[in-house]
């Protein structure tokens, strides 16, 4: 799949933002007043900024409100509802914490739950697609949720918890890569089933046009295996390894904490780039671009 910058930014930032909202909702840390204001500004900046970035890749952003209508069948529509609900409920919680100095526990927990479900609905937009076997696996929601929660814990300053959750998320990340690498061949879809021209060998002889097209640009992105392996190491190192080291450093202060966040963010973006760039859409088979 084409790794569109707007989608990478959207899913990375909003995942982090909603992850932080989960922790603020359950009172980790139990902040009020000015400190709370700063935390909420960061959380809303990430979540809302991410959502806004997602509208950049729309052909008609001015009609975005129509995306609320099909929640019965569409995960994208559900995501729209859930994100707005999470942001509204958490706004009430934030208002009480910042201006009234009071913690509305029930509201907070509801907002935290909604934030979690929002991230889940985002992950299901990808996980539901049978056309992209690498995404079409139960580990996809686990991967995106674990990353979001770990990043949230990191931003919320939950040192030990964050280190634990990052380690967990790293394990899920590796498993998602492992399962993903064989997903296309396990899916049973290949050029033979795509064309119905088997048994025997089928080879793409000539594409429909000499030039490129929307399908090739959007769905057929080929990353070299060596290149991908290098990027995976970078994602693991910056996204998970270094932040955990920084957090566990005895007497880790704000500087190391900030370094951990920056490093995680960099690793997260690389991981998300790979999430898209490595995902093989089965339509590539018709163009002889996939070896299944």
Partner 1 sequence: MTELPATTQKKLGLVIDLDTCVGCHACVISCKGWNTENYGAPLSDQDAYGADPTGTFLNRVHSYEITPEDGPAQLVHFPKSCLHCEDAPCVTVCPTGASYKRAEDGIVLVNESDCIGCGLCAWACPYGAREMDAAEGVMKKCTLCVDRIYNDNLPEEDREPACVRTCPAGARHFGDLGDPDSAVSQLVEARGGMDLMPEQGTKPVNKYLPPRPKQDRAAETDTRAPQLKPVAEDTKGFFSWLDKALDRLPGGASDPDKGGS
Q: If we measure between CA atoms, which residue out of 246, 250, 248 comes closest to residue 263?
A: 246
Question: Which of 171, 213, 248, 291 forms a contact with partner 1 (CB under 8 A)?
Answer: 213
Question: Which of 106, 138, 206, 250 forms a contact with partner 1 (CB under 8 A)?
Answer: 206
Question: Which of 157, 181, 193, 249 forms a contact with partner 1 (CB under 8 A)?
Answer: 193
* Residue 106 CB neighbour total at 10 angstroms: 8
CA distances to 29, 148, 266 from 21, in Å = 11, 10, 21
Judged on CB neighbours under 10 Å (0-12, 13-18, 19+), 255 is exposed
Looking only at residues 42 through 81 of this chain, which bind partner 1 when binding is defined by CB under 8 A? 57-61, 63-64, 66-70, 72-77, 80
* Residue 227 CB neighbour total at 10 angstroms: 11
Q: If we measure between CA atoms, which residue out of 173, 161, 181 comes closest to residue 225?
A: 181
Q: Is 187 in the site for partner 1 (CB under 8 A)?
A: yes
Looking only at residues 141 through 170 of this chain, which bind partner 1 when binding is defined by CB under 8 A? none
Q: What is the DSSP letter of 13?
A: H
Q: How far is the CB of 225 from partner 1 (least distance, A)?
A: 24
- Per-residue x/- marks for partner 1, 4-33, CB under 8 A? ------------------------------
CB distance 283 to 184 below 8 Å: no
Q: Toward partner 1, which CB reaches closer, 68 or 99?
A: 68
Q: Toward partner 1, which CB reaches closer, 158 or 187?
A: 187
Residues that bind partner 1 (CB under 8 A): 1, 57-61, 63-64, 66-70, 72-77, 80, 125, 128-132, 187-189, 191, 193-197, 199-209, 211-215, 218-219, 281-283, 286-287
């Amino acid at each position: 799949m084409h790794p569109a910058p707007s989608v990478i930014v959207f899913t990375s930032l909003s995942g982090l933002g909603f992850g932080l909202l989960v922790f603020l909702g359950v009172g980790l840390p139990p902040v009020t007043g000015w400190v709370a204001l700063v935390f909420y500004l960061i959380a809303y900046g990430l979540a809302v900024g991410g959502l806004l970035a997602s509208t950049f890749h729309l052909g008609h952003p001015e009609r975005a409100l129509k995306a609320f209508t099909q929640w019965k069948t569409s995960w994208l529509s559900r995501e729209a509802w859930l994100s707005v609900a999470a942001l509204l409920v958490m706004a009430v919680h934030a208002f009480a914490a910042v201006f009234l100095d009071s913690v509305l526990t029930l509201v907070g927990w509801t907002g935290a739950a909604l934030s979690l479900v929002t991230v889940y609905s985002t992950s299901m937009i990808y996980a539901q697609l049978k056309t992209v076997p690498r995404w079409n696996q139960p580990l996809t929601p686990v991967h995106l949720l674990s990353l979001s929660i770990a990043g949230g814990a990191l931003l919320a300053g939950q040192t030990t918890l964050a280190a634990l959750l990052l380690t967990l998320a790293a394990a899920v990340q590796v498993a998602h890569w492992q399962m993903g690498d064989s997903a296309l061949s396990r899916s049973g879809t290949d050029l033979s089933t795509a064309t119905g021209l088997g048994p025997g060998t089928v080879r793409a002889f000539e594409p429909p046009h000499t030039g490129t097209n929307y399908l090739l640009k959007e769905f057929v992105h080929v990353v070299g295996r060596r290149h991908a392996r290098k990027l995976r190491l970078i994602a693991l190192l910056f996204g998970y390894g270094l932040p955990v080291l920084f957090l566990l450093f005895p007497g880790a202060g704000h500087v190391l904490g900030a370094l951990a966040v920056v490093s995680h963010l960099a690793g997260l973006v690389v991981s998300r780039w790979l999430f898209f760039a490595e995902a093989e859409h089965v339509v590539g088979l018709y163009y002889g671009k996939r070896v299944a």
